[in-house]
Amino acid sequence: MSDALIGLPIPISFRKLYINGAYTESHSQQTLSIYNPKDDTLVATEIPIADAYDVDLAVTNAETAFNGPWASFTASQRAECFYRLADLLDKRLPMILRLDSLTTGNPVSLIPTREKGYIRNCLLYYAGWTDKMRGDYYPADDGFVKLVRHEPLGVCAAINPFNSPVASLFIKAAPCLATGNVLIIKPSEKSPLGSLAVGPLFEEAGFPPGVVQVLTGDGSTGALLARHMRVRKISFTGSIATGKKIQVAAAESNLKRVTLELGGKSPAVVFDDADLKNAVDWTLNGILARSGQVCVASSRIYVQKSIANEFIKQYTERMKAAATGFGDPQIPETKYGPLADSPSFERVQGMIMRGKKEADLVVGGNRIGDVGCFIEPTVFLNPKDDAEIYRNEVFGPVAVIKSFDTEEEVVSLANDTEYGLMAGVFTKDINRALRVSQRIDSGVVGINCISVMNIQAPFGGKKASGYGREFGEYALRVFTEPKTILIK
């Protein structure tokens, strides 16, 4: 186990599961090891791959918790737990997030500016919702009084991505617990450490044991949760291929509710009247954040022809300069880190190599250094219509730029994809901004911004980017079921 994990000020086990308020030996004999993508050094070994027995044990304890004291918590008691948890995290979260930096490549520079505030705001937001899930009343004009309650589903499971494991944990846990459910968390096999460290903080904040549990493992563990007959809801963030398998498993088992957030190929549409610097800033940050390993990355950029040359000049210069910001993610001054692991690096490198035959490579495309999973910021121009680099999600710092003439043309180009998660429209004409944002097939559209989310407003995709919503009141809805009561 890495020296970086020794001497932590909080008691954590990375060789056990977190079940019913305690670190627990896994029934499974299968384990996995994880590595630091900056230099491929070993970080931790013998992390359990939870098996069917482990999953069933967690589900049984979750059911007990759901039907136990947690069921009698008032809304204000649930809110108090959220507030105490936020206070605990204020001191401990930086260390926990540093754990995941060791295996994801996420720079620790993100912790004070993005991740810590983001997580705290999420908890505080949903703490305020615990007593506001009102129902409905319909008068007895037909002889029946109609009441509608919004009831928790019961045992829920969260299968989280590698790129923001702790933030994803709280994005799913906060609305789940605010509505009275219980949650089993399966972090990515690439980044389980922070999630294991967070587990005990829920009990310390006052949540009863079993309300939140953490099972480590690979895809086999996720499949067991998706097929379990007593899990009532799965919230998954990840690839389309895995999302399809989860949906099938949910349908073939007990028709459990499913929320899927499955990535994107986000178009940024830059009209000739846009504030050019603002457009370059947003599109650049939207592809470089977490080295392009975000679902909302601004990876397709459409620029109106009259300003295309100037936009491309500024954008490519900035992308070239950004290469100097890549480095050791554990150093606070580093802006951008490596890709998450060798398979990710090889996949992105392969797409870039094939892309050279399908588009004009004008920036980057090479490995940075001789060690680690570092890829230069990369820009392609004029892709073929069927180019892989243009059509598929890369999940790396790779952007494709294409010019257009008319509004009709660019709307057609932006929508010519099976993805539909995020988009951006850059223009000073508010009428055009609203008109185009309405016509683009995307769950979220930014006007003069892109690759940004807000905890108050629903977030999710259309088409193959998934369904269901996270954030805001909409996330509460997907963790509850309406019940109608008829009174004669």
The whole-number pLDDT of residue 6 equals: 46
What topology is assigned to 267-454 in CATH?
Answer: Aldehyde Dehydrogenase; Chain A, domain 2 (3.40.309)
d(CA 296, CA 307): 25
The whole-number pLDDT of residue 5 equals: 55
Q: Which amino acid is at 118?
A: Y
Beta-ladder partners of 137: 147
Distance of CA 328 to the CA centre of its chain: 23
The whole-number pLDDT of residue 3 equals: 46
Residues with catalytic roles: 261
Largest CA-CA distance found in the chain, in angstroms, rounded: 78
Q: Where are the domains of the chain?
A: 3-262+466-487, 267-454
Beta-ladder partners of 150: 482
* Cβ pair 396, 402 in contact under 8 A: no
Per the rule left: phi > 0, alpha: psi between -120 and 50, beta: everything else, 367 is beta
The whole-number pLDDT of residue 112 equals: 86
Among 3.40.605.10, 1.10.10.10, 3.90.420.10, 3.40.50.1820, what is the CATH number of 3-262+466-487? 3.40.605.10
**Residue found under tokens 């918790």:** 65
Beta-ladder partners of 480: 152
In the chain (488 residues long), the average pLDDT of successive 10-residue segments reads 50 86 97 96 95 98 98 97 96 93 95 88 97 94 96 98 95 98 98 96 98 98 98 97 96 97 96 98 97 96 98 98 96 96 96 97 96 97 97 97 98 97 98 98 98 95 95 96 96
